[in-house]
Each structure stands twice: as structure tokens, then as C-alpha cells.
Amino acid sequence: MALKVGIPLYAGFDSLDVCGPYQTFCFAGMEEHLVGPTLSAVTSFEGVAITPNSTFADCPQLDVLFVPGGAMPESVLKGGQLGSNPYLDFLVKQAAGATLVCSVCTGALLLGSAGLLDGHLVTTHWAFKDVLKLFRVDIVPDFRRYVQSGNVVTGAGISSGLDVAMYIVSLLYGVGVARQGQLAMQYNPQPTFHCGDPGDTDIKDDPEMVPKRVELFGVDTTQQAIIAWQTQA
């Protein structure tokens, strides 16, 4: 029987956070669930509409819970506190029986909001590491693509979804299956530029791009929204 992986969707999710890992899990032969509050399409921040095949109510117990990031992850918190927030409550319910609890990018903020990262060593998109400090976690001091802590696996920003998904496949099925998937996707990154994180070599040519990107992402807005949500708890 195929292992089950579920990706819970929310308005404004990042399409690469979903579609890259989805294909990776597909090549491993996993049973994939795109989960939403209903079976109505959910739209990413880029305008990509994805139709769920499971709902929060009828999704089977997952072996892997994989939470994507998005442009405004704090929008999920508008659904209420734990116990009355359909999205966060789904994460808590599924995490209790999952083999692995995972995220990529700002999906870590949602796992943190659900209390599922407490005491773990974690990562997220480089621009949101200070926001992740609002939770009871230890954060890696570097820009590694993913980190495992117990049964929790968190990925760095957006494109790291491919790396963390292949690592998850290797944990569940072995290195050989993960390598087959990598070969199938011709995943051999040779970036045109080298400014993928603040520690990359091309950043020196335009160091102001780092604070500019933080501003464009609205990181302060996300941070203040989470603080306000925590205050109401």
C-alpha cells in the first residue's frame, strides 16, 4: 500500500512550494492528497488555482504532512485560535499520527502556530527567520536547504521544496528511489546567478537587495500579525 502524503492548501500559497514537492512525491509512487476546507479550488499568490482532492474533514490519516509556504501565511491565523481554526486544527490532528511532519518556506510559521515545532531545530525562508523566533524553536544559523529534528523536517525557502521532498523520499523509500526521482526530473541545479540567499557569492554586487527583498515580502507585517495572534491566545 502506498504511503500517503498530504499538502494542505490555503489562499495565497506558493505554487512552487506545492507543485515541486508534489511531483517529487509522485515519482516515488506516493498517494497524494491536496487538502482544502472544501473541494473548491484554492488560488496561489501567483494566481494558480488548484482543486483539492480531499477536505480537512475526510482526509485519511497521512504518513507525511507537508505544509507549504505562501505570500501571507498569517492569513491562516485569521481563522482563529487553536481549537477553532480549521487549518491549524487539521495540522494538529494529522501530526498526531503522521510519521513525518514537514514544511517548506513559511509553512514553518504555520507548524509553529500549531505548536508542532516546539523544542525542534528548524529552518524557513531566510527572510522569515526572525519571525520564526516568535515560537519555541531553535533555528539553524546558516542557509542549509533543510533540517531534520526528530520526525520534523523543515525546508528553507521556496525552491528548497525540491530538496526537502527528495530527502523525505530517501527517508521513506531509500536513497535509490530518491535518486531515480532526481534523474527523472533532471534536477541538477546550475543557477545562472548566485544570489539564492544572503550568503551567496553574488550578493556582494548588490547587498541592498537583501533588505529590499525583506521589505517586498512584507516580513514586518507578517511578524506583527503573528504577535497580535499570539497576544489574543
Rounded-to-integer distance, Cα 14 and Cα 7, Å: 12
pTM: 0.97
Rounded-to-integer distance, Cα 187 and Cα 179, Å: 10
pLDDT > 70 fraction of the chain, expressed in percent and rounded: 100
- pLDDT tens across 31-83, in order? 999 999 999 999 999 999 999 999 999 999 999 999 999 999 999 999 999 99
Rounded-to-integer distance, Cα 150 and Cα 136, Å: 15
Quote the domain boundaries for residue 117. Answer: 4-232
CATH number at residue 221: 3.40.50.880
Q: 233: pLDDT confidence band, cut at 50, 70 and 90?
A: confident
Tell me the average pLDDT across 203-222: 97
C-alpha cell at 76: 491562516
Residue 212's Cα: distance from chain center in Å?
23
Cα 226 to Cα 2, 39, 139: the distances in Å are 37, 28, 18
Cα 41 to Cα 28, 54, 80, 220: the distances in Å are 25, 11, 22, 29
**Catalytic residue positions?**
105
- State the pLDDT at residue 68: 98
Tell me the average pLDDT across 98-124: 98
Rounded-to-integer distance, Cα 230 and Cα 90, Å: 19
Mean pLDDT score across all residues of the chain: 97
Grid cell 529552518 in the structure block, residue: 123
Q: Are 105 and 161 within 8 A, CB to CB?
A: yes
Listed range (1-5, 30-34, 117-121, 136-140) with the worst mean pLDDT: 1-5
- State the pLDDT at residue 1: 81
pLDDT > 90 fraction of the chain, expressed in percent and rounded: 99
Cα 67 to Cα 57, 100, 175, 195, 205: the distances in Å are 17, 11, 23, 25, 34
Please state the domain count of the chain.
Answer: 1
